[in-house]
Amino acid sequence: MMDMTFDVVVVGGGHAGTEAAAAAARCGAKTLLLTHKLETLGEMSCNPAIGGVGKGHLVREIDALDGLMGRAADAAGIHFKLLNRSKGPAVRGPRAQADRGLYRRAVQALLRAQPGLFLVADSAEDLLLDTTGRCIGVVSGNGRRIGAGAVVITTGTFLRGVIHLGEDRTPAGRVGEAPSVGLALALARLGLPMARLKTGTPPRLDGRTIDWAALEAQPGDDPPEPLSWLTQRITNPQVACAITETNEATHAVIRANLHRSAVYGGRIEGVGPRYCPSIEDKVVRFADKGRHQIFLEPEGLPGGEDGDTIYPNGISTSLPAEVQAALIATMPGLSRAVILRPGYAIEYDHVDPRALRPTLELRAAPGLFLAGQINGTTGYEEAGAQGLMAGLNAAALAGGGAANRVLSRAEAYTGVMIDDLVLQGVSEPYRMLTARSEHRLALRADNAGLRLTEQGMAWACVGPERAAAHGAFAKAVAEALAWAREAGATPAQFAAAGIAINQDGRRRSVLEALALPSAADPAPLEALFPRLREMPMAVRTQVEAEALYAPYLQRQAAEMRALEREERLAIPQELDFSAIPGLSTEMRQRLAKAQPATLGSAGRIAGITPAALAALAVHLRRREARFT
Amino acid sequence: MSAADTIFALASGAGRAAVALLRLSGPGAGAALTALAGPLPPPRQASLRRLRDAAGEALDQALVLWFPAPGSYTGEASAEFHLHGGPAVVAAVSEALVAAGARPAEPGEFTRRAFLNGKLDLTEAEGIADLIEAETEAQRRQALRQAGGALSAQVAAWSARLARLLARQEAFIEFEDEDLPAGLNDAVAAEAAALATEMAAQLAAAPRGERLRDGLMVAIIGAPNAGKSSLLNALVGREAAIVSARAGTTRDVVEVRLVLAGVPVTLADTAGLRDAADEIEAEGVKRARRRAEEADVVLAVFAADQPADAETLAAMPTGALVVANKADLAAPGIAGALAVSALTGAGLAELRAALTARAAALAGLTEQATLTRPRHRAAVGEARDWLLGLASAPMPELRAEALRAALRALGRLTGQVGVEAILDLVFSEFCIGK
């Protein structure tokens, strides 16, 4: 007998858990969010920033499906910057640094305002499975049996977490939080494949002890570009960051103490991220580089609870606390800086995400979903996007339907990430990069709503406010594009307006004209086509992106169609890879581990040879011919 | 044709020989070998065994070799029998192998299995197919180079450089606020242009490689009764074409193969060019003109004792090899023509030398030509086009797109370079991350 029953139970209140719970509740599922402390819901446990190149794309996708992250970041943002502003729209990444307290409160307010969502401070100590192995609920810390149609686990780095600070090691999740033992044992009983990773965090500095005047200030964008489509205006006061850098003296301190670092002292076995190396790593691996930039980022508004805490971005370390103090003091502006909390490295187990279906449901335990760092990813945005998809699928399953809410690689970075995870597994904490998408020109931060909101409406996870805003925008973009293809001018007219163009007598559309090198200066074009000037910036960005990228996308259309054909050639779940003639043992093992759903996904598995794919394709086509 | 089968084939030529080599491959190779030769010999060592059939009848005294999977040509369990070369022995051992569960291999099946097992990439497999087909020494050298991975090595080298370039471009896109080396972008454009130039050079050499693989086509055209068929017969040294004094004897195209400078050459004797009233002859004339258009070399034959006919002059392309036949009858009146007499053999050696020089120039006995199939040229051509377009791409993500497309085009030849490999390069080359 259950003590209480929900449609969906989400365990964990970080970025994956909050998005999962909110998404499930938006779909109409009666949802319970279990977390140790309600006050830490929405905590930014590391870098106080949301977004960036690739990550900003994910935030916009979460937002397009009516998630929380973008809105919370806008409510808490104190320094906004559109990264890659000088590059094309496809790789521009919106980023916001947030006041940590404001961010938590914004997330908590959004959760409290969500109908059908119940927030309870408790732990999950065990999983309830029925006789078929299906997950039907959890046992809470106070012993209550909580029934659920689906369960989502988003407990981050709690599995065998060990914090390394110099020679000291402490078992923990985050600093000051006890690791959960019961749930870890329950997951261990499922026999899931696990691996070990590590990540690190820099020391936090007291802003009052930094000589800001000696440092180069970095103001944010003015006006700031919001992360959420629904945000009209950023109302928080904005703060500047500053840049300092390491020097030979810093590196000398590090080299002299390398043996005391947890990583170089050989006490860490987990693999760390290549894109976020510790300062020890940087000094060792790039020995010829005499300096490394460090960004000093405030964790809060002046006068607020975190107003004096500074996050020195770029100096993650696991050296002993006194060495950290010594090396910080070598840097310009930091000679008297006081460390509030030392940096540390954390090692943890994660589940090999190849054990998951593309819906993030565990193949070994139907009804049980995993999202966030537990799947080997890093970053709030990666966690949030997984949480959202897991929440949608959990709600669908609990509602009696099929868990089949999947975004493809061609539709979203979220789709790219989950496909990468469930197919390739991870060898380091997985972070989103635009390099990971083969559809980069089409998957932009600026068109996330156009790509996904309609789908979100079909999944019933999008509220009326966003649905209305999306409808109006989509209509405006469609009209603007139709006009830009239709309207145009002759070479003589372009020349008369001062636009350099081939005098070949061929009329060119506005869209073609926007792709000309001379369009870099917009004024003459705007004079010739005043409608361009009247267009809202967001609409115009869509037209300009179309002008810039359409020729490339058309050139690749044939190749993409071939890819889609491969993507459609399904690999039946019951297919025995060992029965396919011509596959080597190694190829069989790789395929069996990743369980690709289509020929296209098999082709993306690292290390699969063209020959193995050919053998698989031949086998599938023969099989298809036999069955149809 | 399942790879679950165990297959065998005679690897040496058919007929009587001192030694015949039978190869056996597939999951049942070990069992079949045991059935005929007793316990498995140590891997990859020649052992002398008496082969017996199922009834215990001795078939031959043979050297046998055992190659456990995957250390064999096909990647499967394999065995070799070095038999005494009589056809009866080969037949008896083949029968015993069938009785032991093996079947004769289809043409190319060993190589196909090697490809499917990842032992060869597609270009190497193509090279081996060409090697087996090779008629001439120069063809054999070219095919051997490809089977040995010359094309793979070239494409792999290009891919590696492209991957490095892409890594730099990707670093520039992903990590804007890291202090990356200055001039990163310009270096990418310059290196891409250099790669495009190298690919263009290989593409320019490619027609020669393809001609060497497929052979040259030489069309002999001329007026009726200019002596084209006589010339053909004189060149090949036998009566390949019917010769008569009657104009219009050759009505269809007669083909003869010969080897010049290591290049296989097809000589095509065509119908005489004239306005033919006869329907069959008219069709022959039409075909002759088409041959002249398609041929690598055109041999335009005139009769020395006749004025040059307008039909042949019109049909002959610039660069045609002009021959004045029947030089024994009159002094040739055509400037630049090679005086030849098919009847007396005068001038034939010079004609042969001229043809040989053409063949060598066209099919080039160059060691450079690695792109021997249209498929190779298409892929490398596509990569080159993307790289040429890169210079005018206004944005870094478009340059990256061009590099990606070029990499994918090359990947169709020897396999893809994955995103992870690119990211590895990004993070090993630049100190990135905060």
Tell me if chain B has a CB within 8 Å of the CB of A289. yes
Verify whether the Cβ–Cβ distance A610 to B179 is below 8 Å: no
- Identify the band that residue B144 occupies on the pLDDT scale cut at 50, 70 and 90: low
| Euclidean distance between CA atoms A438 and A532, whole angstroms | 31
* Closest chain B residue to A317, measured at CA: B434
Do B43 and B71 touch, CB atoms closer than 8 A?
yes
**pLDDT at res. B263:** 74
Task: Give the side-chain half-sphere CA count within 13 A for A254.
Answer: 28
Note the pLDDT of residue B135.
Answer: 63
Query: Does the beta-carbon distance from A88 to B422 stay under 8 Å?
Result: no
Cβ of B397 and A87 within 8 Å?
A: yes
- By CA distance, what is B400's nearest residue in A? A435
Distance of CA A45 to the CA centre of its chain: 15
3-class SS shares of chain A: helix, strand, coil, % to 5:
40, 20, 40
CB A27 within 8 A of CB A399: yes
User: Does B197 or B251 have the greater pLDDT score?
Assistant: B197
Q: Cβ atoms within 10 A of the Cβ of B134, count? A: 18
Mean pLDDT, consecutive 10-residue segments, chain A of 628 residues? 94 97 98 95 92 97 98 98 94 96 97 98 94 95 94 89 87 57 87 90 96 95 95 94 95 93 75 80 86 94 92 93 96 96 92 95 96 96 98 97 91 96 91 92 96 97 96 96 95 91 90 85 91 93 93 76 74 82 77 85 77 74 63
Tell me what pLDDT residue A175 has.
47
Residues contacting residue B353 through CB under 8 Å, at least 6 positions apart:
none
Q: How far is B240 from chain A (nearest CA, A)?
A: 45
pTM (whole model) above 0.95: no
Chain A residues closer than 8 Å to B414 by CB:
610
Q: What is the mean pLDDT of chain B?
A: 81
**CB-count burial class (<10 Å; 0-12, 13-18, 19+) for A259:** exposed
Q: Of the candidates B177, B397, B419, which has its C-beta nearest A88's C-beta? A: B397
* Per-residue confidence (pLDDT) for residue A320, from 0 to 100: 94
Nearest CA in chain B to A243: B177
Q: Which of A353, A528, A521, A482 is nearest to A430 (CA)?
A: A353
Nearest to B269 by CA among B306, B320, B230, B305: B230
Name the pLDDT band for B308 (thresholds 50, 70, 90).
Answer: confident
- Cα atoms in the Cβ-side hemisphere of radius 13 Å centred on B130: 30
* CA within 13 Å, CB half, B172: 23
Q: Looking at beta carbons, which residues of chain A come within 8 Å of B70? A: 584-585
Interface contact A615-B116, CB threshold 8 A: yes
pLDDT value for B1: 42
**What's the distance, CA A467 to chain centroid?**
23
Report how far residue B308's alpha carbon sits from residue B273's, in angstroms, rounded to the nearest whole number.
12
Q: Which of A140-149, A606-615, B70-79, B125-134 has the lowest mean pLDDT?
A: B125-134
Q: Which residue has better confidence, A231 or B363?
A: A231
- Give mean pLDDT, residues B368-382: 76
Across the interface, whether the CB atoms of A610 and B415 are under 8 A apart is answered: yes
Mark yes or no for CB contact A436/B419 under 8 Å.
yes
Q: Find the length of chain A.
A: 628
Task: Please say whether the beta carbons of A263 and A280 come within 8 A.
Answer: yes
- CA A146 to mean position of chain CA atoms: 30
Closest approach of A344 to chain B, Cα-based (Å):
14
CA closest to A202 among chain B residues:
B434
Cα-Cα end-to-end distance for chain B? 56
Question: Taking 90 as the threshold, does the pLDDT of residue B397 lie above it?
Answer: yes
Nearest-neighbour CA in chain A from B61: distance (Å): 33
User: Does any CB of chain B come closer than 8 Å to the CB of residue A333?
Assistant: no
| DSSP tag of A315 | -
Most confident of A405-419, B57-71, B180-194: A405-419
- Confirm or reject contact between A286 and chain B (CB < 8 A): yes
Q: What pLDDT shows up at residue B368?
A: 57
Q: Report chain B residues touching chain A, CB-CB < 8 A.
A: 2-4, 70, 75, 113, 115-118, 121-122, 170, 173-179, 394-398, 400-401, 404-405, 408, 414-416, 418-420, 422-424, 426-427, 431-434
User: How far apart are the C-alpha atoms of A106 and A16, rounded to whole Å?
Assistant: 16
**A487 vs B320: which has the higher pLDDT:** A487
Nearest to A370 by CA among A421, A404, A409, A407: A421
Chain B contacts in chain A segment 64-103 (CB below 8 A): 83-84, 87-88, 90-91
Q: How far apart are CA B167 and CA B427, in angstroms?
A: 9
Q: How far is A602 from chain B (nearest CA, A)?
A: 13
Distances (CA, A) of A184 to A38, A123, A127, B193: 21, 12, 10, 55
**Taking CB atoms and an 8 Å cut-off, how many pairs form between chains A and B?**
124
* Amino acid sitting at position A596: P
Nearest to B117 among A275, A555, A584 (CB): A584
Token pair of A418 as six digits: 């989950």
